[in-house]
C-alpha cells in the first residue's frame, strides 16, 4: 500500500507526462512491493518556499506498511536522485518524510491489512 506524494511549486506543465507511472514503478521496486498496491499523488502549482526562496522546491511523503526504517537513508538517496533527474528539483530543495504505517490503520476493500 505504499503511497508516494510530492507537493511542488513547479507548474503542472513542467511535470513529465510519464512521471506518475515512472514513480509508481520506481517505488514498487524500491520497497519490494507489488505495483498494484502503489498510489502516487503529484500536487504541482503549490504556493511554497524552502529555505527562504521560492526557487523550485518540493515536499515528498512516502507512506508504507513496512519496508521503511533501517533503509530510510538509502531510500532518501534514491528518491532524491529520482526527483532531481525527473523534475529538475535540486536535492537540497526538498525533504523526504517517511511514515511507517501500522497494518490495522490502513484499509482496503472494507477491511484492514491487520492479520
Element containing residue 3 per DSSP (H, E): strand 3-8
Could you tell me if 59 and 48 are in contact, meaning their C-beta atoms sit under 8 angstroms apart?
A: yes
Catalytic, out of 2, 11, 16, 44? 2
CA distance 54 to 36: 35
Domain residue spans of the chain = 2-112
Give the pLDDT mean for 24-38.
Answer: 98
Could you tell me if 69 and 100 are in contact, meaning their C-beta atoms sit under 8 angstroms apart?
A: yes
Question: Strand, helix or coil at 55?
Answer: coil
CA distance 93 to 66: 27
CATH 3.30.429.10: does it fit domain 2-112? yes
- pLDDT tens for each residue of 44-90: 999 999 999 999 999 999 999 999 999 999 999 999 999 999 999 99
Q: Catalytic: 11?
A: no
Q: Give pTM, 2 decimals.
A: 0.95
Amino acid at each position: 500500500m505504499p503511497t508516494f506524494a510530492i507537493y511542488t511549486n513547479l507548474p503542472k506543465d513542467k511535470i513529465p507526462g510519464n512521471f506518475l507511472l515512472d514513480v509508481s514503478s520506481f517505488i514498487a521496486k524500491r520497497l519490494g512491493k507489488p505495483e498494484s498496491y502503489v498510489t502516487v499523488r503529484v500536487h504541482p502549482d503549490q504556493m511554497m518556499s524552502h529555505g527562504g526562496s521560492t526557487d523550485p522546491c518540493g515536499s515528498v511523503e512516502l507512506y508504507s506498511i513496512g519496508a521503511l526504517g533501517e533503509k530510510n537513508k538509502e531510500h532518501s538517496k534514491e528518491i532524491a536522485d529520482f526527483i532531481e533527474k525527473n523534475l529538475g528539483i535540486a536535492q537540497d530543495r526538498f525533504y523526504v518524510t517517511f511514515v511507517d504505517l501500522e497494518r490495522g490503520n490502513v484499509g482496503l476493500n472494507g477491511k484492514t491489512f491487520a492479520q
